[in-house]
Amino acid sequence: MSFFRWQDKGLLHSYYLQPRTKIEEFVGLHDERLKIRVKAAAIDGKANVALFKFLGGEFGVAKSAANLQSGDSSHIKLVSINAPSKLPKNLDIIQPPLAPDE
């Protein structure tokens, strides 16, 4: 199972959010979800706002194009991104290595 799927003109993503980190980045897979680190603390929705801002920059959309479908107060988030204009280049960290030719 993939951590994302296309839904109409948007992407539906499953994330594991790690708040209060030194840098904001995609980390890799955590179970079957993409792990993202954000600097903001998980207080008063600040980590969610940081997540939307990060995703907006990575997918080339306004932060308002990212909508939380579930997981408001959880580390596990389901987020839709409306009409992304680009895909993040650094998502190659989650691709499995190619098997050597035999």
pLDDT tens digit sequence for 21-76: 999 999 989 998 999 999 999 999 999 999 999 999 999 999 999 999 999 999 99
Burial (CB count within 10 angstroms: exposed 0-12, middle 13-18, buried 19+), residue 9: exposed
| pLDDT at 2 (0 to 100) | 76
Q: What is the reported pTM?
A: 0.85
pLDDT at 99 over 60: no
Where do the domains of the chain lie?
4-86
Distance CA 33, CA 44 (A): 23
Strand partners, 10: 7, 82
Whether the per-residue pLDDT at 1 is higher than 80: the answer is no
Longest Cα–Cα distance in the chain: 54
Domain at 4-86, CATH class:
alpha beta
Residue bearing the bigger pLDDT, 36 or 94: 36
Pairwise CA distance, residues 29 & 92, whole Å:
11
Question: What pLDDT score was predicted for residue 101?
Answer: 47
Contact 12, 66 (CB under 8 A): no
Non-local CB neighbours of 74 within 8 Å, separated by 6+ positions = none
